[in-house]
Amino acid sequence: MNKMMKAVAAVMLMAAVVFTAGCNKPEDEPNNDETVTVTVTTITPSDITTKTAVCGAEVVVSEGVTLEELGVCWGFQENPTASEEHLSTAQWNEPFTCKLTELKPNTVYHVRAYAKKGSDYHYGADKKFTTEKQPSGNGTYNGHDYIDLGLPSGTLWATCNVYAETPEGLGSYFAWGETTTKADYDWSTYKYCNGSENTLTKYCNDANYGYNGYSDELVILQPEDDAATANWGTGWRIPTIEEWEELKNNTTSTWTTQNDVYGRLFTSENGNSIFLPATHTFLYGQYWGGGYWSSSLFWHPDCGNRLSFGSGAVGTGGEPRYAGLSVRPVRSIE
């Protein structure tokens, strides 16, 4: 009987040990009974310019909680999310600040701070700010007025054509690479050839077009062959084809009249504009198309790149170098 009682007592003792062990939590197991809190604060945007703003985030979490990411997200609509434009850091235990760049001038943006814990995102309040307006960079250089259209490159565009006194003035025509006007525009009168398109003597990167197989590596007009530089002085030049494309792609173009002259008005986001008068296709007492040289050689060297337009379209392409086209100068921002 005593042996049986001892066995029962041993079993009860083992059960008590197992039960007691099962009730204890390991020391590294989190306490799930407490509510996890993540409080995110969006720092008010500051140092706002035309294209940048300083934004930031702060976060307070309950003890023992860790985060993967702290950052800010922004967009044009209220309450942006981290799936949109965002900047972040893994150093979440201190305030995070960053500079947003490449913003648009005079534009309303919304920004929110966020914190990421696992697959969950916690957001701060939406903050709204407006970038500054593009300042007017209009002015005069060497006696000729220019307009700042707020283009990405900062290129400044003249208000008039070479030899024109007003924005709607036609000015004079120049062959590509020539700096003076003339009565006849033909290969026989062109400066840099020996009478035809396949006898070029300068700006010829294909020997098939060169006089006696001549070739060089020149694809942009040199200052001495630039009608804008030659007539308006150093600091002015003919725009490259890339600068014409930039103008075309970053402005709104409208066929209109200015002082009874037809042409296209190019208006930028900053509100500034330039007027290019139509200078070609003379019908019914008026010009109906425009042709303006770039300083860039076309892909086959008997042509130069140019901008052209009419009442319905604006485009770029090649034009035989002997042709007489208008010149609208530009200058680089200082």
Are residues 158 and 278 both part of a single domain? yes
Cα 15 → chain centroid: 75
Are residues 276 and 165 both part of a single domain? yes
Q: How far apart are the first and last CA of the chain?
A: 109
Are residues 98 and 231 both part of a single domain? no
Inside any domain, residue 240? yes
Residue 160 neighbours by CB distance under 10 Å? 21
Inside any domain, residue 219? yes
What is the domain range of residue 243? 139-331
Inside any domain, residue 18? no
Inside any domain, residue 31? no
Are residues 176 and 124 both part of a single domain? no
Of 220, 263, 195, 240, nearest to 332 (Cα)?
Answer: 240
Backbone φ and ψ for 12, nearest 5 degrees, come out as: -65, -40
Per-residue pLDDT tens digits for 219-258: 999 999 999 999 999 999 999 999 999 999 999 999 999 9
Per-residue pLDDT tens digits for 117-170: 989 999 999 999 999 876 557 899 999 999 999 999 999 999 999 999 999 999
Inside any domain, residue 9? no
Number of compact structural domains in the chain: 2
CATH of the domain at 119: 2.60.40.10
Determine what percent of the chain is predicted with pLDDT higher than 70: 86
Are residues 261 and 324 both part of a single domain? yes
Per-residue pLDDT tens digits for 45-63: 999 987 899 999 999 998 8
Inside any domain, residue 53? yes
Are residues 249 and 277 both part of a single domain? yes
Are residues 122 and 196 both part of a single domain? no
Domain end, chosen from 82, 97, 130, is at 130
